[in-house]
Amino acid sequence: MHIPDGYIGLQTSIPLLVTMIACWTAALAKVKKTLRMRQAPMLALAAAFCFVIMMFNVPIPGGTTGHATGAVLVAILLGPWAACIAVSLAIIIQALLFADGGILAIGANCFNIGVIMPFVGWWIYRLIAGSAPAQSVRHRIGGAVAGYLGLTVAAVVTGIQFGLQPLLRDEFDRAMYAPFGLHIAVPIMALEHLLVFGFVEALVTGLVIAAFQRTAPEMIPARVRTGITPRALVPRIALALGILVVLTPLGLYLPEKFQAGAAWGEWSAEEIQEEISRVSGGRERYIPAGLQRAEERGWKALLPGYNLPGKEEAPLSTLSLTYILSGAIGVIVLGFLILLAARVFARKDEADVPPTVDARPRRT
């Protein structure tokens, strides 16, 4: 669901970037009113979790791949505005450092995954969970359903963005960007997520909520509020995140094992030629001009595709090591950026300030 560069035109990407600037401004204002310094580590961990969980590519055997995002889970635990910031930062780092999603498509990807998904999921979760006690099964069910529907709605919106691109034509009357219209893009994006990837998101969201119910029920909102993060949770969550980073090569091994191709709408130039030929019954075979430009003159990331530059065909064992390295780099960069920003934006209160010690001698 990460739109690469060359798949949407400026007519789509610029309005969505302007929309996201407004959303980020509102999110920062909202979070600045409620975020406390002691909550900043949790926000950093949330962004890092979203980054890492999106590295676990889940295959459809013989078909495409997809992944969970964690956006709805973060919205449930920290609120949708905080989720907007955490998910957006993860997407921006993915694009800048790893070329996972396009630079010009940052606005679109942040809108789809960082706004549509967490807000839709949060509203659905609140509808199902209501004010039930923190240990209630309604929180697990609500989280799972919210994750499933939040991801699916975001996928449909992405499909609409793809499907509108064939309206932009070149001098040969060929699509300049994503070549498949609404009648193809929307059903495919909807069905993939309704039948497979939505269940992955539901499983991740429901299981993490269940884990919090057992180990830290104070993190489960029994009403609409900003969560308070117990400091003791931070090292435990950081440890779990470290384990996930080490396990990220599963996102390489599973697609290889089940011979799954690239995610739909995230093909290389050669792959999109084949896809156009297949869909058109062999009548057409070309690389859209926008994608051609993006591949020739696009952003050169530090670790493109979470690999060393020019090492895309390296053995799977080597790729696994660079995948883990990329995961660690992403986590560290996100944590540093959020903790640095928290010093500027977060508010301090009594719980953030260590108690003072009166050193004056007492009278006896």
Indicate whether 192 belongs to any domain.
yes
Burial (CB count <10 Å: 0-12, 13-18, 19+), residue 155: buried
Among left, alpha and beta (phi > 0; psi -120 to 50; other), residue 99 is: left
The 3-state DSSP composition of the chain as helix, strand, coil percent (nearest 5) reads: 65, 0, 30
User: How far apart are the C-alpha atoms of 233 and 8, rounded to whole Å?
Assistant: 41
Q: How far apart are CA 68 and CA 356, in angstroms?
A: 45
Q: What is the pLDDT of residues 70-127, one digit of tens each?
A: 999 999 999 999 999 999 999 999 999 999 999 999 999 999 999 999 999 999 999 9
- Measured distance CA(47)–CA(12) in Å, rounded: 26
Residue-wise burial string across 308-333, b where 16 or more C-beta atoms lie within 10 A, e elsewhere: beeeeeeeeeebbebbbbbbebbbeb
pLDDT of residue 345: 64
Helix (H, G, I), strand (E, B) or coil at 235: helix
67 DSSP 8-state letter: -
Domain-embedded: residue 359: no
Domain assignment present for residue 362? The answer is no
CA pseudo-torsion sign 340, 211, 111, 126: negative
| Residue 355: predicted pLDDT | 42
Q: Alpha-carbon dihedral of residues 294, 297, 302, 308, nearest 10 degrees?
A: 80
Beta bridge partners of 36: 347
Nearest by Cα to 162 from 173, 143, 146, 175 = 175
Report the alpha-carbon distance of residue 214 to residue 74 in Å, rounded: 18
Residue 283 maps to a domain: yes
- Rounded distance, CA 133 to CA 130, Å? 9
What residue has token string 């996928």? 155
Residue 245 covered by a domain: yes
* DSSP structural state of residue 105: T
CATH of the domain at 299: 1.10.1760.20
Q: Tokens at residue 202, please?
A: 């539901």
Write the pLDDT tens digit of every residue in 279-324.
Answer: 999 999 999 999 999 988 888 899 999 998 888 778 898 899 999 9
Structural domain boundaries, residue 343: 10-347
Q: How far is CA 197 from CA 66, 137, 148, in A?
A: 6, 23, 8
The domain total for the chain is 1
Q: Examine residue 360 and state whether it is found in any structural domain, yes or no.
A: no
pLDDT tens across the length of the chain (364 residues): 899 999 999 999 999 999 999 999 999 988 888 766 667 788 899 999 999 999 999 998 878 999 999 999 999 999 999 999 999 999 999 999 999 999 999 999 999 999 999 999 999 999 999 889 989 999 999 999 999 999 999 999 999 999 999 999 999 999 999 999 999 999 999 999 999 999 999 999 999 999 999 888 878 875 444 444 556 778 888 999 999 999 999 999 999 999 888 899 999 888 999 999 999 999 999 999 999 999 888 888 999 999 988 887 788 988 999 999 999 999 999 999 988 877 776 555 554 444 443 444 445 4
56's CB contacts (< 8 A; 6+ apart) are 67, 68, 247, 248, 250, 251
Residue 186 lies in a domain: yes
Task: Enter the pTM of the model.
Answer: 0.91
In a domain, residue 361? The reply is no
**How high is the pLDDT of residue 62?**
76
* Whether 71 contacts 150, CB under 8 Å: yes
| Among the listed residues 75, 202, 80, the one whose alpha carbon sits nearest the alpha carbon of residue 147 | 202
